Amino acid sequence: MGLLTDPGAGRGKFSQYLVHYHSRLCLLMYVASIAWFLLIVYEPYNAGTYFSENALLPGLVKGEFNDKVIAKNLYEELKTEADRYPNDMPYTWLRSKLRQIGLDVYTHEYSLNYPMGLGVNYTGKNIYGIIRAPRAASTEALVLSIPYRPVASSNIGTLPGVALSLSLAKYFRKQKYWAKDIIFLYTQHEQLGVQAWLEAYHQVSCGKGILQHNDLKGRSGAIQAAINLELYGEVISHLNVKIEGLNGQLPNLDLVNLVHRMSSKENVRHTFHNEESWEGHLTLSSYLKSLKTLMLMVTTQAAGVPNGNHGLFLRYGISAVTIEGFENKERQYGPGFYQVGRIMEGVFRSLNNLLERFHQSFFFYLLPSSNRYISIGLYIPCVCLLAGGLLIRAFAMWLKLNEAIQEESPANVTDWPSVVQTIGVTWISIHLFGVLLVTQTETFSRLGLEFGLMTIDAISLAFFIFSAISVLLPIALRLKKINLWSSAPLLHILVLLEFSVAMVAVGMHNVSLALLTGVLYTPIALFLDVQSSGSFRKLFLRLLMLVFHPIVLLSIAVSGSAIYAFSFENLTSAIVFDAIKQSLMFSTMDRYIYGNWILTAGCVILFPIWMILWCVLNSSAPKQEEKKVKSE
């Protein structure tokens, strides 16, 4: 409180200038942040991709894979086996094929102790085989993972990828140049199987301990890189490369470039977020296409959910990507097992040349296309400008508050110990409210069972009830005769500081999440006027705050995704409501199983920030203060 007791504080010319013009400066910084982001999408202001790790030597790899007939025969054989086990993996067939090829084959079992509802256990089983490197002592390894999807699965089948991987294993087994072990991993239940295998391989538990698994009977060395292959047909239209991982982590850019380079070498169409790179003159359409691709990456990364099995490798320091091969239903001829097999051969032979882990290229970047990148040095100013505006606003408010205190007569001096106590209790209570929401989901589920509710309904109802309480909190404070008017300016300053620090901290790990929340909430946090006397302005701000409630924003985002997936004509309110409930449920389970912290950050940081701003906005002045404000 030294600044409040210093009579000379805030009297300087610079301080007075800042107090007078800070609103314009903050608005300028906000606009500059958005303008900067839009500018770096323009090709002259970003850079072309390149290889930092020369040891990859991708240009020297000459493809020799030619076992497309074997892959096709395996595919036909596998389809017959898959029909015999429509809801399961053909374990016996897979194990026998891997053993015939000459791999060391192992089975890995796991179970999920479902923490919600009745505590049902789910079981699964992975199969993996290892090609031991003839030129090394199993100190390093590469992984080729393939998710097995049964015929009865609602997802697109991956049988072509399984067949191609077996033919690759047969081809790789004959080669003598391998300096690293190659692990072929076939997982059940998508990301759940990958998470169980990785936890067993590294002997750690990343979630809440609800995923149990057996120890691995066969192991290799440190995993240097991983490729997750999802091939959907014999003939493909294009390959799509997925890179976003858990909590917004990204693989080393060299690995991403390697996959695109090998695809180009084999003349296979390759995309990022199903968008091809643009070659040619700079036009408005090319700019909008780059902006679309970048925004698709930003929204995917901000969600913090891996968009492929590769995303779970990243937390272990293993660079990994998913390669999707979409079936070409319009043509019977085109790229297929042969071309994709040669791409995989080139990728693994290049990775085999690595002398150490990926480290030279970027881990923090944004991609406007498959051949352009934006480094952290270019995009981080967007976050800094947003956070800087919040800090300037907080400092200017502090100076104005100090001036008001100095001008008060002794009879009207505010009881600052009482104000500070009110602030502390309010700030801590609201944050504990958010902590309670995210940590007591099991309790909510059990309470729901008492009333005959399914787990998904109980969890969703809890979020909606907490949201309603947050909106009605100012009314409850009035009924308790708790007025935040005196402490509202300091609460506003405190929330500005918290928001700016949180934005920078999150931006260093998941810049997309920091950017999206910053762009949405910064205007409200900046221009919220506690002592505004205009009723229309307060009504507008209240409506705007309700629209920007975290649950409302989630509903809008889910509705947008549903429209994108189902088209507006086929969309119904039931589909949207079910999608909202599923998003809340999946976010909760991702936290328990995988250690996803996006929901935690939303409940512990963003939700309390909104609640404090809402309480500050709805704080009412005492009658004498209200008369004074109106007279001014």
- Does residue 481 form part of some domain? yes
| CATH code of the domain containing 213 | 3.40.630.10
Compute the distance between CA of residue 471 and CA of residue 433 in angstroms, rounded to an integer. Answer: 13
Q: At residue 624, what is the residue type? A: Q
16 domain residue, yes or no: no
Residue 299 lies in a domain: no
Does the residue 582 lie in any domain? Answer: yes
Q: At residue 173, does pLDDT exceed 90?
A: yes
Domain-embedded: residue 574:
yes
Out of 339, 359, 379, pick the residue that ends a domain: 359
Q: Are 259 and 241 in contact (CB under 8 A)?
A: yes
In a domain, 34, yes or no: no
Higher pLDDT, 629 or 58: 58
The percentage of the chain sitting over the pLDDT mark of 70, rounded to a whole number, equals 90
- Residues 435 and 573 placed together within one structural domain of the fold: yes
Question: Quick one: pLDDT at residue 244?
Answer: 95
* 482 and 597 both lie in a single domain: yes
Residues 469 and 559 in one domain: yes
Residue 8: inside a domain? no
Same domain, yes or no: 346 and 486: no
Q: What confidence tens digit (pLDDT) does each residue in 332-366 have?
A: 788 899 999 999 999 999 999 998 888 888 899 99
Q: Are residues 244 and 338 in the same domain?
A: yes
* Cα–Cα distance measured from residue 166 to residue 607, given in angstroms and rounded to the nearest whole number: 49
Return phi, psi of residue 359, to 5°: -155, -20
Say if residue 338 is in the same domain as residue 444. Answer: no
- Cα(201)–Cα(236) distance, integer angstroms: 33
Same structural domain, 483 and 597? yes
Kindly report, residue by residue over 201-252, the tens digit of the pLDDT.
999 888 777 888 899 999 999 999 999 999 999 999 999 999 999 999 999 9
**355 and 436 within one domain:** no
pLDDT tens for each residue of 255-268 = 999 999 999 999 99
Which range scores top for mean pLDDT: 411-415, 420-424, 447-451, 544-548?
A: 544-548
Do residues 351 and 488 both lie within one domain? no
Domain containing residue 464? 416-631
Question: Which pTM value belongs to this model?
Answer: 0.90
93, two tokens: 């067939």
Query: Are residues 420 and 350 part of one domain?
Result: no
Q: Which residues contact 257 (CB under 8 A, 6 or more apart)?
A: 49, 50, 51, 361
Domain boundary among 359, 379, 396: 359
3-class DSSP assignment, residue 371: coil
The pLDDT of residue 415: 62
Residues 426 and 344 in one domain: no
Domain count, the chain: 2
> Residue type at 352?
N
pLDDT of amino acid 71: 93
Among residues 328, 359, 390, the one where a domain terminates is 359
CA within 13 Å, CB half, 292: 13
CA angle 165, 166, 171 (to 5 degrees): 95
Residue 281 domain-assigned (yes or no): no
Asked whether residue 410 carries a pLDDT value surpassing 50, the answer given is: no
Same domain, 349 and 424: no
Q: How far apart are CA 577 and CA 572, in angstroms?
A: 9
